Amino acid sequence: METGLKTHVLPAGAAATATAAGVLAEGGLVAFPTETVYGLGADAGNAAAIARLYEAKGRPAFNPLIAHVADLGAARRIALFDGQALRLAEAFWPGPLTLVLPKALSCPVAELATAGLDTVAIRIPAHKVARDIIKAFGGAVVAPSANLSGHVSPTTADHVNGDLAGRIDLIVDGGPVEVGVESTIVGCFSDPVLLRPGGLTRAEIERVLGHPLQSPPPDAETDAQPIAPGMLASHYAPRTPVRLNASDVHVGEALLAFGPAKVARRECASVEMNLSERGDLAEAAANLFGYLRTLDKRNADAIAVMPIPEDGLGEAINDRLRRAAVGR
């Protein structure tokens, strides 16, 4: 996609917030930091702007988007909350939790953003820059990750610029993000369902609910129409093939290590990066996408990834790695 568009980059602050709100109001596209990853924002009620967003990302139009709002009152104008959904919202918003809920009767989010579903995905981001922009804009903002569709999610403004320069209007640079993996998505159906693990752990959510989360239906993770954002079988994929649970390194491979554990034939790695030398899953999550991007540029035959525990944030990290390994 060659648009000849000039993509401006502004440091976060009052001037950038005002400029971003104006760009959104005019149907433009603005990338900004959230606590999870950088998002690419468009007016959630403007179908033409959303179509531009899909085009800029090369994103399949059947993949729904998350509507980001400033407060719970705005969320309740978009969707219907039952008791369980309200408990989760009050416990974890603002924060890295997305709720998939039935649309309100007068839901202002464009059909294109919900991919024709009767549900809508909503969250309130915790990042001050994101919330300031949404408040200044005065409405819901859809904001998928600010990258080319299927590529590694961006955790810095430079990542966004590398993927989307010339395709979007503005990047607000708020520095590196904190969490580093996308929000956890819970479908608030008759029984809440964990649709996508993310920056909020299953255990924290189940503690508030008082019972286990259900698993998604077996056909939910396909390349047909997904029921929530980020559920395509191939997603978050670098261009270099990814080999999971590597116990050794092949000649010509890059190594994505984790913790102090040893791996056989480590000396064969063309380059090595360790998600967390001390085995800290929060640090690993924050580093994941940035390290994948760096290794993807090293022209390795493949990226060998050492095993990651499934505990806590490890569930989200392994989910992203499995999708990355599916390829394009």
Binding-site positions read: 36, 59, 63, 68, 119, 123, 143, 145, 153, 183, 196, 236
What per-residue string of b and e applies to 293-328 under the rule 16 or more CB within 10 Å gives b? bbbbeeebebbbbbebeeebbbbbbbbbbebbbeee
Answer for the pair 201, 313: CB distance below 8 angstroms, yes or no. yes
Annotated binding site for L-threonine: 36, 68, 123, 143, 183
Name every residue whose Cβ is closer than 8 Å to that of residue 224 and which is 6 or more positions away in sequence.
62
Annotated binding site for ATP: 59, 63, 119, 145, 153, 196, 236
Cα atoms in the Cβ-side hemisphere of radius 13 Å centred on 313: 21
Spatial separation of the C-alpha atoms in residues 154 and 37, rounded to whole Å: 6
In degrees, rounded to 5, the angle at the alpha carbon of residue 115 between the alpha carbons of residues 204 and 7 is 85
Token pair 């989307």 is at which residue?
164
